[in-house]
Amino acid sequence: MAQTKLSFRAPGPSRPPVWTVGQVVRGANRALEQRFSMLWVEGEVSNLKLASSGHVFFTLKDDDASLPTAMWRSSVERLRFRLADGQVLRVLGRLGIFAKQGRFQLYAEQAEPAGLGALMLELEQRKARLAAEGLFDEERKRPLPRWPEVIGVVTSAQGAAIHDILEVARRRCPSRIVLSPAVVQGPEAPRSLVRALTRVQRWPGVSVVIIGRGGGSVEDLWAFNDERLARAVAACPVPVVSAVGHEVDVSICDLVADLRAATPSHAAELVVPDLRAVVQRLELLSRRLARALERCTLDERARLEAARARLSRVGHRLADPRRERLEALRRRLEACHPRRRLDRDRRRLVGLETRLREAGHA
């Protein structure tokens, strides 16, 4: 490695040079700038400190050495993730000496996770924050309406998603669908999606909203991981179905929404009722009802016949003793009738007369 010499002019040929501390530090800084203008350094973060000014100070270390590092507030605000102890970072910066303390350090301007992309780390940190607030809780998710009056859709007007949704709706059940177009990719997408969602939920009669887009790369789908959109979905007054990308793609929007669909077509199948299936279901229920009514009628008729037979038997059991008693009373009454007594006396008189005549002839 070529050596860099500090080029200072000596005060005289016969005396060793005497430099001020400031001269030495400034000369060393110039030498470092000439040798190491900007460089990437990889190491583990430790001793992280956030100053009240917004600047961040930490140490980058590996098994062989440690390097004090400073990152000014303007650079910290550009980071897409939150710094933390234990992270392994690649840091872009310049080497220098902090004059007041004579400390050799790295002045960082950029940083990105090593091994795990900055986007993924940002995503995980955002997920953890929103989950801690309860935005992913199942208890806050609402059921979808069975017969939505108007279906709102937030997606690109030119993308395949809206065509897939319309095709599924046409096949299943003609429905009123309102498109609130939005940019679904790029830096303007999050704000555009939030505006479109706010707009469609105000449409008269909208009772459910589908938000999403077709498949793409992580970067293409990144707008659906935006925190502003997540909070807008959580605050929507009607249920939201999220359909972002394909089944393997899971965004923050999917986690916050009331229901996640694998694709826009799947979202339409979840939201739009299948008219043919409903008709078939009604026919099946009608047949079941007819059979149930027939069974109920037969059962009631059998119970009525059994009750009538029991009533008849009970009636006979109650009436027969009374009938016999009545017959006995009738016989006693007839026996006590004067005509019956007169008949008996007449028969006795005839008998006595007969016996008297027989005795007179003897």
* Residue 223 pLDDT greater than 80, yes or no: yes
In a shared domain, residues 104 and 46: yes
Residues 282-304: pLDDT tens digits? 888 888 998 898 888 888 888 88
Domain boundary (246, 273, 300) is at 273
Give per-residue pLDDT as tens, 118-165: 667 778 889 999 999 999 999 999 999 999 989 999 999 998 999 999
pLDDT of residue 118: 63
Q: Residue 117: its pLDDT value, please?
A: 62
Question: Same structural domain for residues 236 and 160?
Answer: yes
93 lies in a domain?
yes
Stated pTM of the model: 0.57
Beta strands at 66-71 and 56-61: parallel, antiparallel or unpaired: antiparallel
Confidence of residue 7 (pLDDT cuts 50, 70, 90): low
Q: Does 308 fall in a domain? A: no
Residue 288, domain member (yes or no) = no
Write the CATH number for 40.
2.40.50.140
| Non-local CB neighbours of 69 within 8 Å, separated by 6+ positions | 57, 58, 59, 60, 91, 93, 105, 106, 107, 108
Residues 38 and 151 in one domain: no
d(CA 267, CA 291): 37
Q: Is the residue at 15 inside a domain?
A: no
Q: Is residue 252 part of a domain?
A: yes
Integer CA distances (angstroms), 259 to 7, 179, 194, 203, 218, in order: 69, 19, 18, 21, 21
169 lies in the same domain as 79: no
Residue 332, domain extent:
313-350
In the prediction, which pLDDT does 33 show? 78
Average pLDDT of the residues in 194-211: 96
Is 241 among the domain residues? yes
| Count of domains for the chain | 3
- My answer on whether 242 and 168 are in the same domain is yes
pLDDT at 338: 76
Whether 266 and 324 map to the same domain: the answer is: no
**Measured on CA atoms in the order 356, 358, 361, 362, is the torsion positive or negative?**
negative
Classified as helix, coil or strand, 231 is helix
Task: Tell me, yes or no, whether 131 lies in a domain.
Answer: no
Among 23-27, 189-193, 276-280, 345-349, the range with the most confident prediction by mean pLDDT is 189-193
Which CATH number characterizes residue 259's domain?
3.40.50.261
Per-residue pLDDT at 3: 47
Q: Are 264 and 145 within one domain?
A: yes
Assigned domain for 361 exists = no
- Residue that terminates a domain, selected from 243, 273, 303: 273
pLDDT at 362: 63
Provide mean pLDDT across the span 227-234. Answer: 96
Statement to judge: residues 180 and 254 lie in one domain:
yes
Decide which of 355 and 135 is more confident: 135
**Confidence band, pLDDT 50/70/90 cuts, at residue 310:** confident
At 38 the pLDDT is 86
One domain for residues 169 and 237: yes
Q: Are residues 199 and 319 in the same domain?
A: no
Q: What does the pLDDT read at residue 239?
A: 97
The answer on 320 and 234 residing in a single domain is no
Q: What are 84-119's pLDDT values in tens digits?
A: 888 889 999 988 888 888 788 899 999 988 865 666
Which among 261, 269, 259 is positioned nearest to 244, based on CA atoms? 261
Q: Cα 309 to chain center, whole Å?
A: 61
Which of 116, 133, 158 lies at the terminal end of a domain, its last residue? 116
Task: For 50-78, write each residue's pLDDT tens digit.
Answer: 999 999 999 999 888 999 999 999 999 99
Tell me the pLDDT of the chain averaged across its residues: 86
Q: 265 and 189: one domain?
A: yes
